[in-house]
Chains A and B, each alone.
Chain A
Amino acid sequence: MIQEKNFFQHLISNIDWWLIFATALLMIISFGAIYSAGVNYGTSIRYLSVQCLASGIGLVGLLLLTSINYQYYKYLSKFVYILSLALLISVLIFGSVKRGTKGWFDFGFISFQPVEIAKIMFILTLSAVLDLKTNEVKKWYFLLSAFTILTGHLILIMMQPDFSSTLSYFPVTLVLLFIIGVNPFYLGCIVILGGFAVGIPLAKTFLNIQMKFLESEIVPINILNFLQTGSGEFYIIVAILTLIIGIWWFFWKLRIKIPIVYTVVLCVAIIIGCLASISVEKSLKDYQRKRFVAFLNPNVDPRGSGYNIIQSQIAIGSGKFTGKGFKKGTQTQLGFLPEQHTDFIFSVIGEEGGWILSQLTLLLYFMFIWRALVIAKESRDRYGSLVATGLATMFTFYVVINVGMAMGMMPVTGMPLLILSYGGSSIFSSLCAIGILCSIRMRRHTHVK
């Protein structure tokens, strides 16, 4: 154990300055964008002060987590998991409702969303479990134990209900399983399962909207009608299954032997996916589904579900190379942009800062994630690598979904842009995650405990 006075020296010499640099710059951009987004509503100062306060608390958390050895979490993984569940349960009991979601602890002047911190706890827990059971990777119950941990969180979050937060769990889980050495085929099957479960209701919604839009056009309406009925769906699935078995049989005849297990697992995954789609369909509200598919063709409903995407694209595009200038974005200042300080903060940056600033933002994010992955690579143990990879995946996923949504490539899910978006809990948990990364980085050499 090193001396107390040496600790800060060690911190300064071993902390990942690139990571801190990227974070600091992103936070500066964030403050500017949040300020500008609030000018029109007269909320600039309020938002900015809340964000600064949360950042301050987050920085304390960052330093605290940096100084704590991350390896403790591995040994305390059960405790961490129980704590995360306790947080999620207590928010269901004591939490207050905002925008239809019971996910906030309200402390009067500031409110806290436990799901943000629960995500990080989940990564810590899952990494610990995977690290412990590395040798059982090929066993069937390995996946099961991983998904049990996942399900505990998902059920509690869906009870809030907070659909968009649950989405971020899947990529993290899948990437961690991939890293630990689970056969990618099974992971692929899980993706297919999820794809069918969510895809079928969304595809139906999309066809439904599209049909209203096309109306008298020559597009064979009969086919669309057929697709919408239950039997049509059934026939298509049967056709897909037959095709898979047919291909397998064809390869078999060519003497390319693919184990039948794969085929069976794939078919089972599809069938389960289809069955799951029924419950997903019921749990998603109509407007959610519409909003979800609007990005495919926002012009179908330009004043309704497509409005956000259209306006956001206009905002980003109209920024051109140099942008319209701080507080001068017409889309932002005249209220054309929805949710501009939270979900669509990237549009504000794109409009007022132009291509230069928005591309810089993306580069900073990439730098951040690259550093996180480097930390994963250099970690002294597998647990550290898994945690760092998990956190990197979480950040990547948030950025891709949020920025993709702002540019009309991704569905509107209501996911914030970590570090940039206004939101106390999200900036706090982001800074905590960075603290954990720093902790892993600092202890890459054996002598630090």
Chain B
Amino acid sequence: MVWQREDKSAYENFLKKHKTILVFFMFLFVCLSIRLFYLQIIKGNKYRDISEQQRIHNTHERAPRGIIYSADNLPFAENKFTYVALYHPYERHLKPSEQVIQELNKILGREIKPTIDKNWRFGRVIKLADNLSMEEMFKLQEKKLSLKGVAVAKESSRVYCSPEVISHIIGYTGEVRSDEIEDLAEHGYKMGDYIGRGGIEQTYDQYLQGKDGGWQIEVNARGYQVKAFKYIAPEIGASVYSTVDLKLQQVAYDALNNSDTGIGAAVVLDAKTGAVKALASCPGFDINVAGNREFGKYLKDKRLPLFNRALQALYPPGSIFKIITFAAAVDLLNIDPSEIVECTGNFELGDRHYVCWNKLGHGKMNIISATAQSCNIYFYQLGLKLGVRNLERYAKKFCLGQRTKIDLPNEKKGFVPNPEWKKTKVKMPWLQGDTVIFSIGQGALWSTPLQMAHMMSVVANKGIHHKPYIVDRVIDLSGNKVYEHELELGDELKLSDNTWTLLHKALLETVENGTGRRCNLPGIKVAGKTGTAQNPQGKDHAWFVSYAPADNPELVIAIIVEHGGGGGINAVPIGRKIYEAYFNLEVLQEENREAKK
């Protein structure tokens, strides 16, 4: 009865087909196994990552930036904390529901209309309300269950004290722009991060940046939180201690602001170390409104408030350059105060005619009185004697035409001309007349106020000088010094002793009896030089550079008042105010007055 025996051919036929089917089924199972192997073994890591990604959400809490202190430990830049109500979008709920908004409006008594702006990307939170009071914050926390997806977070924002005065040295912060992100991504920045712009905020950004924190939470398929894994508290950035003295800074800024034009810059350096005691550029701007709509007015302002004149503006040094001409002449030509030149107010060179600022002439001048009176005629003939090569060499020795490498961004280099430059760029040969105006700091000579202050520190220390710096140390949260400024000695400028003695004498004379006599302070010897830089665009720039006390210099000052006219009248009083503030002279005067009464 068994069909295998009964109908042999039919059974064999069946076996053949049976085998086909077995092979076919085997093939199907092999296909499934290959796919399984591919998914789990070959692509396993990728899918594991995806499954982790869709289950773990990181909420981001931005860390406050580090605090910037002045030299006397007053905070320049601090953080203000406010509570904000945020909405965490979850699966298919990009906006909070109507119910949630109504509830929220009831609690806060505000009219909240959540909007998603076009920059919104998935995963970012939507801000519903800011500046919440403590009370409101607690109320929201209580009603947390009915407010699905709403969270309260602490948010820090930057506040600056005396924002206009310190605007250029501190800078401000702003969100990373999309055009910068490519370069910054290498340094760990991401979209939405804040970065310092201008000033210390920019140069010391890496220290000021804190470590961002947040919650790592597990969410289910609907996007609700299932459990929180861990909370990483945001860590504030390191504190930056600057060398700037807020009092001097304030005085310098106010003095500049009250000058005739209200435009200019003042640089105050510590003569011994090169530390920046004050660095003011006027007009300043309110760094607290940076990033707001209000900020636009500064961009439109013709006085260029965003421009840090102290190290970005290039001015002809004018008569201040006579210091260098002086030093070169004494050092190379051994000029003696006994050598006298008659100033008639006029100077003829070939068919060109040069004048002294005093058209009547200064009369008989030696090198000291010529410096004190800033006599152009005397320096014209010195310049001719020295020649352009020597002037260029000495200008560079006094660090002109090169950056001081101060730790502030966007410093300008300045320029020292020479015959080759004129030939290639202007396509004209260097003339004797060019040397003549070079010797009094005009022509194609360009320098920044910071460079002038730096030059003065070279003079004050008889050739020894330090790189200027504005940040002394950076101290992190746990109190470790993560950065400390090391004094950086520049190449010593070696000139004969006679040169330094004569130069100091001349500069002292300038303040005591010469053009700088408005800075003649009781009890403190000030050495300095005024300058009135001619300017084809308008009124002359008023310069004043000086150091004090003359026999043991502590402070070096460079001041420029843009279009301020004569240096002796407009720039010198500003220097005086700074000295008075530094040496506490106004207090002494008042005490004296009270004593007289």
Residues on A lying within 8 angstroms of B by beta carbon are 134, 175, 178-179, 181, 303, 313-321, 330-331, 334-336, 350, 354-355, 358-359, 362, 365-366, 369-370, 373, 376-377, 380-382, 385, 389, 392-393, 396, 399-400, 403-404, 407, 409, 446
Chain A residues with Cβ under 8 A from B4's Cβ? 380
Q: How far is it, in angstroms, between the C-alpha of A178 and the C-alpha of B54 when the chains are bound? A: 48
Write the nearest CB–CB distance from A342 to chain B, whole angstroms: 17
The residue that A314 contacts in the complex, of B15, B47, B220, with Cβ under 8 A, is: B47
Chain A residues with Cβ under 8 A from B17's Cβ? 178-179, 181
Chain A residues with Cβ under 8 A from B29's Cβ? 362, 365-366, 400
Cβ–Cβ contact B51 & A179, under 8 A: no
Known: A316-B39, A381-B2, A407-B36. A179 touches B44 (CB 8 A): no
Cβ–Cβ contact A380 & B40, under 8 A: no
Known: A313-B47, A334-B55. A178 touches B21 (CB 8 A): yes
Chain B residues with Cβ under 8 A from A134's Cβ? 10
Q: Judge if B597 is at the interface, Cβ distance under 8 Å.
A: no
Cβ–Cβ contact B2 & A380, under 8 A: yes
Chain A residues with Cβ under 8 A from B138's Cβ? none
10 other A-B residue contacts (CB within 8 Å) besides A313-B39, A381-B2: A317-B44, A317-B51, A319-B40, A334-B220, A335-B221, A336-B220, A373-B21, A381-B3, A385-B3, A407-B39
Write the nearest CB–CB distance from A291 to chain B, whole angstroms: 18
Cβ–Cβ contact A320 & B44, under 8 A: yes
Give the A-B contact count at a CB cut-off of 8 A.
135
Chain A residues with Cβ under 8 A from B32's Cβ? 362, 399-400, 403-404, 407, 409
Chain A residues with Cβ under 8 A from B22's Cβ? 370, 373
Residues on B lying within 8 angstroms of A by beta carbon are 1-4, 10, 13-15, 17-18, 20-22, 25-26, 28-29, 31-33, 35-37, 39-41, 43-48, 50-52, 54-55, 92, 218-222, 226
Write the nearest CB–CB distance from A188 to chain B, whole angstroms: 14
Known: A314-B51, A320-B45. A355 touches B37 (CB 8 A): yes
Cβ–Cβ contact A380 & B18, under 8 A: no
Cβ–Cβ contact B1 & A446, under 8 A: yes
Cβ–Cβ contact B51 & A330, under 8 A: yes
Write the nearest CB–CB distance from B224 to chain A, whole angstroms: 10
Cβ–Cβ contact B25 & A392, under 8 A: yes
A-B residue pairs, 4 tightest by C-beta = A317-B47, A320-B44, A318-B51, A335-B221
Chain A residues with Cβ under 8 A from B20's Cβ? 178
Chain B residues with Cβ under 8 A from A330's Cβ? 51-52, 55, 218
Known: A336-B221, A359-B36. A396 touches B25 (CB 8 A): yes
Write the nearest CB–CB distance from A378 to chain B, whole angstroms: 9
Task: Output the residue of B3, B14, B51, B222 with the most chain A CB within 10 A.
Answer: B51
Chain A residues with Cβ under 8 A from B21's Cβ? 175, 178-179, 373, 389, 392-393
Cβ–Cβ contact B3 & A316, under 8 A: no
Cβ–Cβ contact A409 & B35, under 8 A: yes
Q: How far is it, in angstroms, between the C-alpha of A330 and the C-alpha of B52 when the chains are bound? A: 8
Q: How far is it, in angstroms, between the C-alpha of A397 and the C-alpha of B25 when the chains are bound? A: 9
Known: A181-B13, A381-B3, A389-B18. A317 touches B25 (CB 8 A): no
Write the nearest CB–CB distance from B46 to chain A, whole angstroms: 7
Cβ–Cβ contact A377 & B36, under 8 A: no
Nearest A residue to B33, CB-CB: A362
Can you list 29 residue pairs at the A/B interface with Cβ under 8 Å?
A178-B20, A179-B14, A316-B36, A316-B40, A317-B46, A318-B50, A318-B52, A330-B218, A331-B51, A334-B219, A334-B221, A334-B226, A336-B55, A336-B221, A350-B39, A355-B36, A355-B37, A355-B41, A355-B44, A362-B32, A373-B22, A373-B25, A376-B18, A377-B18, A380-B4, A382-B3, A389-B18, A400-B28, A407-B32
Q: How far is it, in angstroms, between the C-alpha of A399 and the C-alpha of B20 when the chains are bound? A: 19
Q: How far is it, in angstroms, between the C-alpha of A362 and the C-alpha of B39 when the chains are bound? A: 15
Chain A residues with Cβ under 8 A from B226's Cβ? 334
Chain B residues with Cβ under 8 A from A317's Cβ? 39-40, 43-44, 46-48, 50-51
Chain B residues with Cβ under 8 A from A389's Cβ? 18, 21
Known: A318-B48, A330-B55. A335 touches B220 (CB 8 A): yes
Q: How far is it, in angstroms, between the C-alpha of A358 and the C-alpha of B54 when the chains are bound? A: 23
Write the nearest CB–CB distance from A109 to chain B, whole angstroms: 30
Known: A335-B220, A358-B40, A369-B25. A382 touches B14 (CB 8 A): yes
Write the nearest CB–CB distance from B11 to chain A, whole angstroms: 8
Nearest B residue to A382, CB-CB: B3
Write the nearest CB–CB distance from A232 to chain B, whole angstroms: 33
Chain A residues with Cβ under 8 A from B45's Cβ? 320
Write the nearest CB–CB distance from A98 to chain B, whole angstroms: 23
Nearest A residue to B13, CB-CB: A181
Write the nearest CB–CB distance from A72 to chain B, whole angstroms: 16
Nearest A residue to B6, CB-CB: A381
